[in-house]
Structure 1
Amino acid sequence: MPDSLTRDTTTTSVVLLATTPACRFSCADGTLLDRISDQLAVLPVRDVQVVTAGSGLGADLRGVAKIARTTSGAVAVLPADLVAHTEALALLLEHPAHDTAALVAHDAAAGPMRPPVRVEGGKIVAAGSSFHVVPEANATFRGVLQAGEADLASLADLAEELAELADRGELGPVTPVEAVDLLLVGLVRSGVAVRAAGIGPLHADRVTGQSAADAAVTRLADVDEARVRLDTSVKEDDGFFATFLVSTWTRHLVRPAVRLKLSPNTVTGVSVGLALLSAVWFSAGTQGGRLAGAALLYLSFALDCLDGQLARYARTFSPLGAWADGMSDRLKEYAVYIGLAFGFADPGIWYLAVTATILQVVRHALQYAYAGAATDAARIGSMWGRPARSLLESQDARHAPGVLGFAQRMERDTIARWLKKIIVLPIGERTALIAVTAAGWNARVTFLALLCWGGVAALYQLAGRIARSAQ
């Protein structure tokens, strides 16, 4: 039976599965159930509903389904036999998106309490249990699953379907220990997009014995949670220039910015101001002006990285903030184009400036229009389509064919992955290209470089979109 422990008025509820004997193991805070309850008390969750041991796996899953059908907002499901850093739980429960996601570790071997998953592009594309096998697994699930509000109906339907299959013995010798594992398998196989929230060096381990519980609790002290939070504020999949020539030092400004109570929007505003000053210096048309403009443009981009790091550290980012940040990037870039054109003596430079602007508009359209279409297609597919894979198939044998498979193999190679990031000429590389060519040569060289490299990037993007759409 579920018991409700009211917290505050945020949008996430927690279903705590206290259905295994391990949740009663002792620790310094009482039992493991007491420990995780205390952790949830300091996190922004609306309520915690504890599901105690029922009549087996089927009853436990039906309890989850009942809660999912009667709750609004996101619902997180986790076992009470989990020993985890509070920061690891916060990766899901404090994430402003309140989306469907699961905690995963990328550097540990699969085991009975660490079912395998395959992660591609930040999403879990295959998940396993003692019944479901995952070929080419590259991560493990660590027991914490969250369903966004839009996916609650899917979660409830899947929980009920799994309960029926478990009661009839059609899932093999699965036990209540695997309830949350099976829910993840169901969501992934039904086509729901599940974000992979990597725990990095943090720990999140389910335990089956008292000695294992003691060891897991002791191991938590080996990690500085505050340091990990700072490290994870740096965007993991950023471009080469941002990763190695900007974020290496802007990360040290995050905590001072928090102490000064600077909001990400404030930092974005300063970044825009520096870019506009850069455009003014570029418009002077002198060597000194171009050098000053290049320096200010670099600092503007550094603050653009810092505002994202600050938002991730404070977990205050939002869709509106992401949109405003993207719009400010466009404003800054096009203002710099205008400044460079004004500072060049030949009026013909405006043709190059306008062409470079049009090319960037087309590239952004390719990127964001495709992303929006892919999201809509996935949403329609999950709402109206048949499940991607049957829950009764013990092996997930999906393999990406053709060009898409080649692209995924490239992602596993570090050098190839960085080369791909550079080829597409993201905002960091464009900033560096503008700053170097403007400071070292002139506006004509800058625009020609943007057109040549940007043209190659556009063709690369277009080919990739066509190849992915054709698969």
Structure 2
Amino acid sequence: MTLDQYRSVADRLLGPWVRAAAKLGLSPDQVSVLAFAVAVGAGGAFAVGDPVFYLLGAVLVLLNGWLDLVDGALARHLSVSSDGGDLLDHVLDRYADIAIIAGFTAGIDAYALGFAAVTGVLMTSYLGTQIQAVGIGREYGGLLGRADRLALMGIVGVVAAAYSAPLVVGLNVVGLLLVLFAVVGHLTALQRFLGAWSDL
């Protein structure tokens, strides 16, 4: 986990975005849905697997991450934070993760690897919310949080646009990213579990 600890820094940069969303009359839930739609677009772009679409996907992934911060900041700004909004945000984030990883997977025809990657990501997030459910508090710790994953996906999209030839054991940079998500995702889930278990 590296980037999640800088949420407070990002919050200070969100002001213009939050004011613009408020001026447009958007609700936090609508921003969450917009962020999800952007993620689906990123997944679709990555599925094409061409350089221009990898670049487009990278931009959309980063926009998804930014809008994911905007919805919460907007809710605080409008004083309309709610459990329902939090639930919607978390559900759409998980579907966004699935859409983006599925796009990467389809783009290189590596479905078994994609399955391992997406289950690693989902288990990481599941452990975070399950720890909260047992009363310990929301857990963002671990080797890779969502902010880290989004940053890596954006970077990989840019790199894949410039160079998509195999690098290691027949895997290009996208394949290596899926391996990273598979291994680190499950390790992060285990790390969160063990940390929570010791706190019970």
Shorter-chain TM-score range: 0.7 to 0.9
- Measured against aligned partners, the alpha-carbon deviations of 1:40-74 in whole angstroms (never above 9, x if no partner) come to xxxxxxxxxxxxxxxxxxxxxxxxxxxxxxxxxxx
TM-score, length-normalised on structure 2?
0.82
For residues 456 and 241 of structure 1, do their structure 2 counterparts lie closer, same or farther at Cα, with a shift above 3 Å needed?
farther
Alignment of 1:274 onto 2:38: yes
Partner of 1:429: 148
Root-mean-square deviation over aligned CA pairs: 2.2
> In the aligned structure 2, how far is the partner of 1:468 from the partner of 1:324?
28
In 1, the alpha carbon distance for the partners of 2:105 and 2:13 equals 32
How far apart are residue 306 of structure 1 and its match?
A: 0.4
Listed as ranges, the matches of 1:50-449 within 5 Å are: 239-240=4-5, 242-244=7-9, 246-344=10-108, 347=109, 349-374=110-135, 423-441=142-160, 442-449=173-180
Higher relative contact order (CA 8 A, sep 6+): 2
Structure in which a larger fraction of residues adopt helix: 2
Paired residue type of 1:453? V
1:374 is paired with a residue whose SS is coil
The separation in 1 between residues aligned to 2:98 and 2:185, in whole angstroms, is 15
Q: Match for residue 192 of structure 2?
A: 461
Give the Cα–Cα distance (whole angstroms) in 1 for the partners of residues 175 and 8 of structure 2: 28
Once residues 431 and 241 of structure 1 are traced to their aligned partners in structure 2, the CA distance between those partners, rounded to angstroms, is: 14
SS at match of 2:21: helix
Q: How many corresponding residue pairs?
A: 184
**2: distance between equivalents of 1:243 and 1:422?**
16
| Distance in 2, Cα, partners of 1:294 & 1:307 | 20
- d(CA) in 2 for partners of 1:350 and 1:310? 37
1:454 Cα shift?
A: 2.1
Q: Which has the higher strand share?
A: 1
Aligned residues with identical type, % of pairs: 23
Cα displacement (A) at 1:337: 1.1
Report the 3-state secondary structure (helix = DSSP H, G, I; strand = E; otherwise coil) of the residue aligned with 2:134. Answer: helix
| SS of aligned partner of 1:273 | helix
Shift of 1:453: 2.8
Unaligned runs of 5+ residues in structure 2 are: 161-172
State whether residues 254 and 310 of structure 1, in contact with CA within 8 Å, keep that contact through their aligned partners in structure 2.
Answer: yes
Say whether the 8 Å CA contact 2:113–2:178 is kept in structure 1.
Answer: yes
Say if 2:54 and 2:158, in contact at 8 Å, map to a contact too: yes
Say if 2:119 and 2:182, in contact at 8 Å, map to a contact too.
no
How far has the Cα of 1:285 moved from its partner? Answer: 0.5
1:257, 1:465 → 2: CA distance? 37
In the alignment, structure 1 segments of 5+ residues that lack a partner are 1-237, 376-419
**Partners of 2:6 and 2:13 in 1: CA distance:** 12
Q: Is the 8 A contact 2:42 2:57 kept in 1?
A: yes
Deviation (angstroms), 1:273:
1.4
Read off the aligned partner of 2:194 and give its amino acid letter.
A
Partner letter of residue 290 of structure 1? Y
- Cα pair 2:123 2:186 within 8 Å, conserved: no
